[in-house]
Chain A
């Protein structure tokens, strides 16, 4: 049920399947539904924090399919959820040295520039073709990931880090050792990040999965560092578009507030788990999510579904 201008609220209908969109101004929102949204978002925040994505792939279907909320407002709430995941998880990851701040900020150049470019050309690009292309790219990446699942941070040959110092070291609590790494194939990683940014700008999605791929597959960082650094970066990409969604009135506090609270709680939980997991475990979690995202993209490309 989509309303062009009306506001969409969480209200009880006859039964669970009947929470629906309606627009009486100032109507009270059903507290039960709000609490359910909050609870559901805890899981989204936890998984998002673990694999370095914003959780929009869980939050948007939860709101639209589960509660019949207008897609526009669901996307607005998902932008908020990305920032909540990022701030909640990255605070711990930066402190623990899992996030590589230099690599993150350097690549934010590519993602933010890509996002501006993407948003500017958004009207002249066919979204369906783009969804198809992205779906295929992600499926291929998922296949490329398969043989890498067991590589728990493959030993790197020593190489100079260069002037940009895109290197680092983290303490792996799961293994009890320090792991040093140097970013490889930096131009390829930078280009992929620009594509990830452009996709965010074009389609209004977070593209956390693409960021993790750029860090892990292209630049060869340990999976936990990739996830933690992507988590750090997605907040800035989302902040770039949050202002626009706010200006359009897409960020309704009655929906965004429970989403933000649930996701933040989940992200704090996920951030406590990640240091103890092995790189292999994080990959095992990331791979099926990548396949789901790829499938969603392909479906949108074929079916031309809105959003």
Chain B
């Protein structure tokens, strides 16, 4: 609670537009993923999670990667729809980092472009290191 905030006005205006973009990214990710999850959930409760709605007789794939989710979707299983939504939910924080890097670049705030990219790089490394 300083008497005089240590920022100039253009800094605040830039930050406000950048905040709007980051906020919209999070909202979009949430709306998209929860809609898919809700559809999958409703279908799953009504018809059974692994019943194929298109009449496929192949066994349902336990989703451990993207291809299994695609398979469940193609065979018309409610679980596949929910899994797609869960994937979208998990991707949202990563997408938010990319958008943040973009807004920092538009502000020519190169330090924070670097910081955001470094966090993204560590995330990628974590996926590789922790899987192997």
Q: Mark A78-109, 1 if CB is under 8 A from B, else 0.
A: 00100110111011101101010110011011
By the criterion of a CB under 8 Å from any partner CB, how many residues of chain B are at the interface? Answer: 67
Shortest distance in angstroms between B9's beta carbon and chain A's nearest beta carbon?
12
Residue in B closest to A167 when the chains form the complex, CB atoms:
B6
The answer for the CA separation of A240 and B120 in the assembled complex, in Å, is 10
In the complex the two chains form, is A242's CB within 8 Å of B90's CB?
yes
Interface class of chain B by DSSP: helix
Shortest distance in angstroms between B95's beta carbon and chain A's nearest beta carbon?
10
In the complex the two chains form, is B2's CB within 8 Å of A109's CB?
no
In the complex the two chains form, is A87's CB within 8 Å of B29's CB?
yes
Shortest distance in angstroms between B75's beta carbon and chain A's nearest beta carbon?
12
User: When A28-B48, A156-B2, A254-B44 are in contact, do A91 and B30 touch as well, CB less than 8 Å?
Assistant: yes
In the complex the two chains form, is B48's CB within 8 Å of A243's CB?
no
Residue A180 contacts which of B1, B16, B37, B92 (CB distance < 8 angstroms)?
B1
User: When A119-B129, A169-B7 are in contact, do A80 and B111 touch as well, CB less than 8 Å?
Assistant: no
Q: Mark B33-57, 1 if CB is under 8 A from A, else 0.
A: 1100110110011001111000000
In the complex the two chains form, is B1's CB within 8 Å of A156's CB?
yes
The answer for the CA separation of A254 and B122 in the assembled complex, in Å, is 31
Contacts A83-B92, A240-B130 given; 16 further ones with Cβ under 8 A?
Answer: A25-B59, A26-B50, A29-B44, A31-B45, A83-B93, A87-B29, A90-B26, A99-B19, A105-B100, A108-B119, A236-B97, A238-B93, A248-B64, A257-B41, A260-B34, A260-B89
Q: Residues on B close to A: CB < 8 A?
A: 1-7, 12, 15-16, 18-20, 22-24, 26-27, 29-30, 33-34, 37-38, 40-41, 44-45, 48-51, 59-60, 62-65, 79, 82-83, 85-87, 89-94, 96-97, 100, 111-112, 115-116, 118-119, 122-123, 125-127, 129-131
